[in-house]
Amino acid sequence: VIGVVIGKTDVRGFPDRKNIGSERYTFSFTIRDSPTYFINVHSWGREDYIRSLSQSFRVGDCVTIENPLVQSKEAEREEKFNPVTPSRYKLLLSENHSTVKMSSCYETDMKLLSLLHLPVKDPQDYYSLGDIIANGQSLDGRILNVLAAVMSVS
């Protein structure tokens, strides 16, 4: 799979349920290869592997993923902590079988980089800040998509 990285989480550690007293590490990222399609990629493993993998690329880089495990996603659980994707699947990276490399094809990179700033949500599925303020009570408890722009950073 070749795509541009459009999002990435920080590395996190969790107690390993199989090996009491040790930790497993994880991070996720989202890649896109067309205006319509993007998919979440998850990796679990030892701290040094996960940290090294996470540091090997950043958002905006074009990457090639080799030998990922393709798995059906559990929509309700998956999309609680990850971007909602149009795919019914997710990719899992294994330390022993999968690799992530920087893409090296200039033409492919230029095509993919044009996808970096496309919205991942339907343009009709956003609330403006004015709508939220005006209808705050009726929106209480709902999850909303907000489209906003940064005016200044200081």
Distance separating alpha carbons of residues 68 and 109, to the nearest angstrom: 21
Selection from 116, 117, 119 nearest residue 3 by Cα: 116
pTM of the shown model:
0.77
Q: Which CATH superfamily is domain 2-114 in?
A: Nucleic acid-binding proteins (2.40.50.140)
Least confident span in 2-11, 92-101, 124-133:
124-133
Distance separating alpha carbons of residues 63 and 86, to the nearest angstrom: 20
Residue pLDDT, tens place only, 20-31: 888 999 999 999
At 65 the pLDDT is 94
pLDDT > 70? residue 79: no
Choose between 17 and 81: higher pLDDT.
17
Pair 6, 57: CB distance under 8 Å = no
Helices (H), the chain: 47-55, 75-81, 106-113, 129-134
Q: In the chain, count of helices (H) and strands (E)? A: 4, 8
At 133 the pLDDT is 83
pLDDT > 90? residue 135: no
